[in-house]
Structure 1
């Protein structure tokens, strides 16, 4: 099983079902179940199905979907500076 390394608090938000878009700098070709790996510990803390990959996303699309990616409005410029293109990987059915 492949794994996706995710920092806190994002991994907890995914496991709680609050975060339905994981923002990345590239498209995801993986589909199916993956392990969710907490970045500070390297431990697999859950699994999720990668249902889709969306993007590249515009600034407007990022602002309109804060409830999905959970990145505060004040931090969106930093995300844009970090990634040339922004993609949303769509985890579904996350379980601890």
Structure 2
């Protein structure tokens, strides 16, 4: 399983089911269940499904505030030259978060099958 690094407070909003669009500057072809890692923590806090990735227009970004949780006053322009919504579904919060070994150079994705501290 792959793990996606996400900063607070966005990861918490995703795990609570309040944020269903993760806004990124690149497309993803990944689909299915991924782990959610709080940036800088070394811990996987839960999982979510990626069901779609779509490029957004400025109007879609503005009108999607309730989906990506960026305040409407901060949506006057797209955050990236090409802005994508990674559409998320079915978040699961782990009762006990799982530590992992963060590989050098990992910025967006971590291969959790290699990084989990399973003893």
Q: Distance in 2 between matches of 1:67 and 1:32?
A: 23
- Asked if residue 54 in structure 1 is aligned to residue 54 in structure 2, the reply is yes
How far residue 28 of structure 1 moved from its aligned partner, in angstroms, is 1.0
- Asked if residue 28 in structure 1 is aligned to residue 28 in structure 2, the reply is yes
Correspondence for 1:93: 90
Q: Distance in 2 between matches of 1:95 and 1:53?
A: 20
Q: Distance in 1 between matches of 2:61 and 2:20?
A: 13
Structure 1: gaps spanning 5 or more residues: none
Larger Rg: 2
Q: Distance in 2 between matches of 1:29 and 1:70?
A: 23
How far residue 74 of structure 1 moved from its aligned partner, in angstroms, is 2.4
How far residue 75 of structure 1 moved from its aligned partner, in angstroms, is 2.1
Alignment length, in residue pairs? 93
How far residue 87 of structure 1 moved from its aligned partner, in angstroms, is 0.2
How far residue 54 of structure 1 moved from its aligned partner, in angstroms, is 1.3
- Asked if residue 73 in structure 1 is aligned to residue 72 in structure 2, the reply is yes
Q: Which runs of 4+ in 1 moved over 4 A?
A: none
3-state secondary structure, aligned to 1:74: helix
3-state secondary structure, aligned to 2:88: strand
Q: Distance in 2 between matches of 1:52 and 1:59?
A: 18
Correspondence for 1:45: 45
Correspondence for 2:9: 9
CA displacement 1:34-90 (0-9 Å, x = unmatched)? 0000003131100011111111x111111111000000122224x72x411000001
Superposition CA RMSD, Å: 1.3
